Amino acid sequence: MFELGRYTEARDILLVYLESHPEDLESIIRLGDIYSALGDFTSSSLYLNNVISAGYKNKSEIERRLAYNYAALGDHAGMLKVLSYLIQEADVTEDDYAVAISLALRE
């Protein structure tokens, strides 16, 4: 459903699935993506933060998504906080540094 752009249906299916499989981090990430696609950046951030709290190994990718969500919400403090975590990761990219520096200078 997600790949077809049927986000509301995909959300509903995943919510039911997660009731019986709450430890499925990949599904939680997908749910965060769905909420983002639906424009509900607050719900998306809640799910993505839960994935990080649960010990997801590829934190950098999730932190990039969170930074985008906070930017979309106009929460510059939250965005800068996430970016500060991101630039401490081992797999940080040059682009991550550029975004963090640009935003820090602007703020």
pLDDT number for residue 25: 96
Where along the chain do its domains lie? 1-56, 58-107
Q: Could you tell me the pLDDT band of residue 107, with boundaries at 50, 70 and 90?
A: low
The H or E element containing residue 64 is helix 59-73
pLDDT one-digit tens code per residue, 19-66? 999 999 999 999 999 999 999 999 999 999 999 999 999 999 999 999
% of the chain with per-residue pLDDT over 90: 63
How far, CA to CA in Å, does 81 sit from each of 21, 40, 89, 104? 30, 20, 13, 10
Q: What is the CATH number of domain 1-56?
A: 1.25.40
Burial class (CB in 10 A: 0-12, 13-18, 19+), 68: middle
Residue that wins the pLDDT comparison between 107 and 102: 102
Predicted TM-score of the model (pTM): 0.86
pLDDT number for residue 5: 82
